[in-house]
Amino acid sequence: MADSSSVVARAITHPATLETAFALIGALLWGYAVQVAGHRQRAGRWLAAAYWFVLGALFGFGAWLPHWVSGLLVVLLVGIEAGGGVRLQATPAPSSPTGLMVQGLRALWPVLTIPGVTFVVAGLAALSGGDVGRGAVIGLAIGGILASGVALVAGRLTGRAALDAGRRLTEDIGPLHLLPQLLASLGLLFTAAGIGELLAGAVGSVVPQGSAVGAAVAYFLSMTLFTALVGNSFAAFSVITTGIGVPLVIAPFGLDPAFVAILGLTAGSCGTLCTPMAANFNLLPVGLYGLADNYAVIRFQWRLAVALWPAHILIFSLFVLPR
Amino acid sequence: MGGWWDWPAWKLLGVVVLIVGLARRWPAGPVVLGAGLVTAGLAGLPFVGDNARPGMLDTLGKAFVENRVITLYLLTLPAVGLSERMGLHSVMARLMGRLSGVSLARVLIGFQVARVVMGALGLRLQGHVAFGRPMVAPMATAALPTASPAHAAEVKAAVAAAENYGNFFGQNLFPASAGCLLVAGVLRGAGYPVDVVKLSLAAIPVVVVSLGLASVQFVWLARRLERLKAQPTDTSAGATGGDRHG
C-alpha cells in the first residue's frame, strides 16, 4: 500500500507528467493552426495560423529551447497580436447550439468531469503524501482529456468536432488567454530590474515601521487603487505583490505568503468592482441589459466594495497575524 | 557617473507604460510586454545575457515557460466547447429556472451562490452573456412588486453585480484556477513557493463575507422597492432613489 501510494505521489510530481500535458497542449494548438490555415476565405489566416503554431511550439518544446529563444518567440507572438494578426473578440458570445441538443442533463457530464477528476487526483496526491497543488494541476489536465472523451461518447461526436469546438472557444478569447501568463512574466522582469525595492522603499517610508497591520493596509490599498487604475487585478497583482506585498508584508513579519497574497488579490477585486476600466464586467452589462445609466452597475457595486475592503483587514488580523 | 540618467526611479517608467496602456485600452499583450521590456532596458539588462547575468530575453523566456501551467486550462476547452454544443447553456438555464417564482432577494442571492459554486468547480463561463441577460434579469424583474422602468433598471444592475460578486470571489476557490496559479507563479518568482490548494482554502473567508454583505445589500434593495410600491410615487423619484439607501 505504502509502495503503491508513493508511486502515485511520484507520478504526480514527476516533471515528465506535466511536460506531457504541455506537449498535448502544443499538439492541440498545432491542430488549431492547421485548421486556421485551411480556411481559404479567411483574411490573414497565415498570421493567425503562425500565432497558434508558435504558441504550440512554446508549450511543447519550451522546456528544451534555450530561454532566449523562448523569449524571442514570446516577442514574436505579441508582435503578431499587436499587428492585429489574431482575431480578437472582446465579448465572446456563448457559441450557439448548432442543431445538436442532447436530451437530459448529459451536457453537464463533460464539464462536471473536469472538476471531479481535478479534485480526485488532488485527493490522491494528498492521501499518498504528495504535492496536493501539483495534484490539482495534473488533475485539471487529465480531467480535460477525460471530459473530451466523455463528451464524444455522450454526444456521439467525432474527434474533429472536439478540435473544432476547442478552436472556436480558444479563438474567441484569442491572445487574452496568454495575459495571466504574460503578467506573471512581467512580475519576474520587474523583480530582475529591481522595481520591487524601489516601490518597497517609496511605500515603506510612509508605512509606520514594525506594524504588520499598517503594512497590510498599504498593500491592500495599493492593490485596490492600482487595480482600479488599470482595470485588471491580475496586472496589479504581479506589480504590487513583488513591490509591496512580499518585501513589506510577507518577508519582514514572516507571515503566511498564501493567505496574504490571496487577500491582496481580492482587495484588487474590490477595485475592479468600482472602475469603468474593467469594461468587460462593469460596462458591457450596461449595453447587454439595456440600462440608461453607463455607471449603473458601478453605482450598485461600490457599496459592497467599501464594506468588503475593511473585512480584508479584519480577516488579516484574525487569521494571518500570529496570536 | 552620477548624471540625471542614473536616477533609479527611471525604471518606474515601465509601470507608467503599463498604466497608460491598459487605461487607454491598447491591446493588453503588447502593453504588458512593452512595460516589461522598457523596465528591463532602463535597468540596464542586456538583450541576451549569460549564465552570470541573464538578459531580458532570457528572463522573459524562462518566466513564460515556467508559468505555462497558468494556461494549462487550454486542455479543457475542447470538452467545454463540446458541452456547449450539447446544450450546456440551456441545461444550466433550466437548473437556474428553479429560482423563478421566488422573491427578488432570493433570485439575486441564489444567482450569486450559483456563480460561486460554478467558480469553485472551475467552470469558466461568461455569466453576463450566458445567464445574467437571458435568464436572471427577466426572473428578477418578474419578481418586482411594481413594473416601473426605473426599478427594473436598478434590479438589472443588481443582477450584473451578483454575477460580478460571485464570479470574482468564487473563482479563487478552485485550486487550478488562473488566479490561484498566477498567485503561485508570482510568489514562486519572489522566492515563496506556495501550494495552490492552500490558496484556494485561504480564499474562503472573503467568499463568505462577500456573500453575507451582498445578501444584506440585496435584501435592502428588495425592501426599499417594496416600500416604494406601498406609497405611490412618480417615476422620477424612483430614478434618483438609488442614492438614498443601500
Residue A256's pLDDT is 96
Q: Which of A101, A103, A104, A138 is nearest to A119 (CA)?
A: A138
**B126 and B191 share one domain:** yes
Mean pLDDT of B77-93: 85
Cα–chain-centroid distance for residue A42?
29
Residue of B nearest to A254 (CA): B192
The angle formed by the CA atoms of residues B50, B54 and B60, to the nearest 5 degrees, is 130
pLDDT higher than threshold 80 for residue B229: no
* Residue A90 predicted with pLDDT over 60: no
> Picking from A159-168, A277-286, A303-312, B126-135, which range would have the lowest pLDDT averaged per residue?
B126-135
Are residue B143 and residue B227 in the same domain, yes or no?
yes
Q: Which of B120, B66, B121, B186 is nearest to A261 (CA)?
A: B186
pLDDT band at B5 (very low <50, low <70, confident <90, very high): low
Flag the least confident range among A120-124, B42-46, B101-105, B123-127: B123-127
- Residue B3 covered by a domain: no
Q: Which three cell numbers stand for residue A5?
A: 501510494
Confirm or reject contact between B81 and chain A (CB < 8 A): yes
Are residues B139 and B211 both part of a single domain? yes
Q: Taking a C-beta distance cutoff of 8 angstroms, is the pair A15, A134 a contact? A: no
Characterise B101 by phi-psi region: left (phi > 0), alpha (psi -120 to 50), beta (else). left
Q: What is the pLDDT of residues A161-205, one digit of tens each?
A: 999 999 988 888 788 788 888 888 888 888 788 877 788 888 888
- Choose between A231 and A3: higher pLDDT: A231
Q: Which amino acid is at B127?
A: G
Q: Are residues B116 and B35 part of one domain?
A: no
Q: In this predicted model, which residue has the larger pLDDT, B99 or B155?
A: B155
Nearest CA to A122 among B197, B72, B204? B197
Burial of A125 (0-12, 13-18, 19+ CB in 10 A): buried
Average pLDDT over all residues of chain A: 88
Alpha-carbon gap: A299 to the closest alpha carbon of chain B (Å): 8
pLDDT on residue B210: 98
pLDDT(A66) > 60: yes
Residues B41 and B146 in one domain: no
Tell me the pLDDT band of B231, cut-offs 50, 70 and 90.
Answer: low
DSSP state of A65: S
CB proximity under 8 Å: A 254-313 to B: 256-259, 261-263, 265-266, 269, 272-273, 277, 279, 281-282, 284-285, 288-293, 296-297, 299-301, 303-304, 307-308, 311-312
Chain B closest-CA separation from residue A186 CA (Å): 5
Domain final residue, candidates B50, B66, B82: B66
Weakest mean pLDDT among A155-164, A307-316, B137-146: B137-146
B23 part of a folded domain: yes
Asked if A185 and B67 count as a contact pair (C-beta separation under 8 A), the reply is: yes
Tens-digit pLDDT profile for residues A7-39 = 888 888 888 999 999 999 999 999 999 999 998
Give me the number of domains chain B comprises. Answer: 2
Burial of residue B13 (CB within 10 Å: 0-12, 13-18, 19+) is middle
Q: Is A205 exposed, middle or buried (0-12, 13-18, 19+ CB in 10 A)?
A: exposed
Q: What is the pLDDT of residue A3?
A: 67
Domain containing B137: what range? Answer: 70-243
B2 pLDDT tier (thresholds 50, 70, 90): low
Nearest-angstrom CA–CA distance, A78 and B33: 8
pLDDT at A118 over 60: yes
Say if residue B179 is in the same domain as residue B233. Answer: yes
d(CA B122, nearest CA chain A) in Å: 6
The mean pLDDT of A154-164, rounded to a whole number, is: 90
- pLDDT at A91 exceeding the cut of 70: no
In a domain, B56, yes or no: yes
> Which pLDDT score, from 0 to 100, does residue A102 have?
63
CB contact under 8 A, A258 and B22: no
Rounded Cα distance between A143 and B147, Å, is: 46
Question: Given this model, what pLDDT does residue A92 score?
Answer: 44
Please state, in angstroms and as integers, the Cα–Cα distance from residue A23 to each residue in A117, A245, B203, following that order.
20, 34, 31
Sole residue written with cell 471531479: A116
Same domain, B76 and B62: no
What was the pLDDT predicted at B235? 45
Q: Is A174 on the interface with B (CB under 8 A)?
A: no
More confident residue, B126 or A224: A224
User: What is the C-alpha to C-alpha distance for residues A280 and A297, in angstroms, rounded to an integer?
Assistant: 12
To which H or E segment does residue A26 belong?
helix A15-37
Q: What is the per-residue pLDDT for B237? A: 40
Q: CA–CA separation, B114 vs A293, rounded Å? A: 27
* Residues of chain B positioned with their CB less than 8 A from the CB of A93: 129
Query: Which residue has cell 499587428?
Result: A83
pLDDT at B232: 56
Condensed to tens digits (0 to 9), the pLDDT of residues A234-258 reads 989 998 999 999 999 999 999 999 9
> Distance between CA B18 and CA A159 in Å, rounded?
41
**Among A77-91, A186-200, A233-247, B223-237, the range of highest mean pLDDT:** A233-247
Grid cell, residue A246, equals: 512580499
CB-based contact A68 B169, cutoff 8 Å: no
Residues B119 and B136 in one domain: yes
Minimal-distance CA residue of chain A relative to B88: A107
Q: Which residue among B27, B47, B66 closes a domain?
A: B66
Of B242, B238, B227, residue with least CA distance to A302: B242
Q: What is the pLDDT of residue A86?
A: 80
- For the ranges A5-9, B161-165, B175-179, the maximum mean pLDDT occurs at B161-165
Q: Which DSSP string do the residues of B23-78 spell out, in sequence order?
A: HTT--HHHHHHHHHHHHHHHTT--SS--SSS--HHHHHHHHHHHTGGGGGGGGGHH
Confidence label for A89 from pLDDT (cuts 50, 70 and 90): very low
Mean pLDDT of A265-292: 90
Question: Looking at the structure, do residues B110 and B137 belong to the same domain, yes or no?
Answer: yes
Identify the residue with better confidence: A276 or A3: A276
Please compute the mean of the pLDDT values over residues B105-130 and round it to a whole number: 89
Nearest CB partner across the interface for B132, out of A78, A164, A285: A285
Question: What pLDDT is attached to residue A262?
Answer: 97
- Tell me, yes or no, whether B125 and B12 share the same domain: no
Rounded to 5 degrees, what angle do the CA atoms A40, A42, A44 make? 110
Q: How many C-beta atoms lie closer than 10 Å to residue A146's C-beta?
A: 17
Q: Which three cell numbers stand for residue B179?
A: 488566479
Is residue B104 located within the same domain as residue B138?
Answer: yes
Distance from CA of A126 to the nearest CA of B (A): 10
How open is the CA angle A183-A188-A194, to the nearest 5 degrees?
125
Chain A with chain B: Cβ pairs closer than 8 A? 479
Choose from A223, A248, A286, A300 for mutation: most chain B CBs within 10 A: A300
Burial (0-12, 13-18, 19+ Cβ within 10 Å), A323? exposed
Whether B138 and B239 map to the same domain: the answer is yes
Q: What percentage of residues in chain A have a pLDDT greater than 70?
A: 93
Which of B66, B83, B99 is a domain's end point?
Answer: B66
Residue numbers in B near A94 (CB within 8 A): 84, 89, 125-126, 129-130
User: pLDDT tens digits, residue range B32-82?
Assistant: 999 999 988 888 888 888 777 788 999 999 999 999 998 998 999 999 889
Tell which wins on pLDDT, B99 or B169. Answer: B169
